Amino acid sequence: MFFQNFSLKKVSDTDNFLKWIYRDLEYYCLVCDLNCNENPFIFWAHTPYTQICFDGTSAKTSTTDVIREVHAVAFASEDNEISWSVRDKNKHTEVCHYVYDVKALIGRGSFSRVVRVEHRATRRPFAIKMMEVKAPGGREVCASELAVLRRVSHANVIQLVEVLQTPQRVYMVLELATGGELLDRVVTTGRFTERDATRALRMVLAAVGYLHGLGITHRDLKPENLLYYHPGADSRLLVTDFGLATFGDDWSLRTTCGTPEYMAPEMVLRRPYSCAVDMWALGVIAYIVLSGSMPFEDDSRTRLYRAILRGKYSFRGDPWPSVSSPAKDFIQHLLASDPAARLTAEQAIRHPWVATMAAGSSMRNLHRSISQNLRQRASRTSSRCPSSTGGLSRASSSNKADRKKNVC
């Protein structure tokens, strides 16, 4: 039995989590204590018309409910298979069984590996992120990412499908994004206009606005973390990789982290900052998407930070003469050195250039100039780092540690 559609909800203020699962005409619920090494579960089933209340210590249900204690047993993680079973503790019968065939290694991070898998029964593809919680700092990173992923549900944000914890590892089953990174799509389409840019940015802004509404700051927005769900032209664009994301009220964040070229001035200065740092990063992304070049770039970290603090960038060189004034105005209002003057996600999505999808702008094809600039930048990067690889299709939430150059 495999349950495909469910979401995750926290139970009271305990460390327990409910997994609500809908299958056919019944709802199933698994309650797992993530702090227990033996992975105990409480399982019950009921119809959609039954009320259930669970406070973390006791279950109160109607007489139509069936309550059984079960244990997760026969958990295995091998090179070519990840599987686990949930069995009835008293009757020794299997309640549900999960088997994922490992197809390929997608990425490797400081505390994790990401593999592309296929569920053996349904043949549906997923990504599984395996995080080492025993490694120094691994538990904190894992807990932070899980806290965010459990909270979010948006068409343009990567979705957590299932999670299982063992004493050594946490396995996060995620939807698999196979359409490639944002810049890969720009290069391979053969034609790219300002309207195409606004179409992509609208999806990113919708996701970022949703995250900011929940009090979540991503802190590592960049093209490599923006993935298309499938290769089709109508694919949705997903914000992924929440390894540095955090909850925090305005101006309560202080940790300097992220990818240097996308860091906002207030973060470089190690001052308290807010979710406005994400909007600065979106300004950098918009600049890259429209030109294939970076507004701030230098081999020296010191000189790079000085350029960011000065806020000096230019619209010189191809294809900027062909880019409209509204597009440049949009970038300028995101790359404002004063975070209070920066557009919010809600304001950015209402900016005339984005709202009208560049209706008043030239539909000139920017593809050639963008591609040339991206190739030149990739060549410079590879000459500095011979082992680096170009952007290829990634799965959701891969750390891509060999490419991120994160500071934290």
- Are residue 239 and residue 134 in the same domain, yes or no? no
Q: Are residues 161 and 244 in the same domain?
A: no
- The whole model's pTM is what? 0.75
Residues 388, 274: one domain? Answer: yes
How many structural domains comprise the chain?
Answer: 2
CA pair distance 224, 278, nearest whole angstrom? 15
Same domain, 277 and 378: yes
177-210 per-position pLDDT tens digit: 999 999 999 999 899 999 999 999 999 999 999 9
H or E, element range at 99: strand 94-108
Among 175, 195, 221, the domain boundary falls at 175
- Domain check: are 168 and 284 in the same one? no
Q: CATH no. for residue 352? A: 1.10.510.10
Exposure b/e, 141-175, CB count within 10 A at least 16 = b:
bbebbbebbebbebebbbebbbbbbeeebbbbbbb
Residues 113 and 200 in one domain: no
Residues 374 and 392 grouped into a single domain: yes
Q: Last residue of some domain: 175, 197, 217?
A: 175
Beta bridge partners of 23: 26
Torsion of CA 115, 37, 18, 42, to 10 degrees: 120
pLDDT digits (tens, 9 = 90+) for 288-337: 999 999 999 998 999 999 999 999 899 999 999 999 999 999 999 999 99
Residues making up the binding site for ATP: 129
Q: Which of 36-50, 217-231, 362-376 has the lowest mean pLDDT?
A: 36-50
Q: Which domain holds residue 241?
A: 182-404
Say whether both 344 and 207 belong to one domain: yes
Pick the last residue of a domain from 146, 175, 204. Answer: 175
Note if 33 is an active site residue.
no
CATH number, domain of 146, equals 3.30.200.20
Q: Verify that 329 and 248 share a domain, yes or no.
A: yes
* 400 confidence band (pLDDT: 50, 70, 90): very low
Residues 313 and 233 in one domain: yes
* Residues 138, 160 within the same domain: yes
Average pLDDT over residues 152-171: 87
184, 196, 220, 241: which one is catalytic?
220
**pLDDT tens digits, 236-266:** 999 999 989 998 766 668 888 889 999 999 9
Binding residues, as ranges, are 129
**156 and 10 in a common domain:** yes
What is the average pLDDT value for the chain, to the nearest integer?
Answer: 76
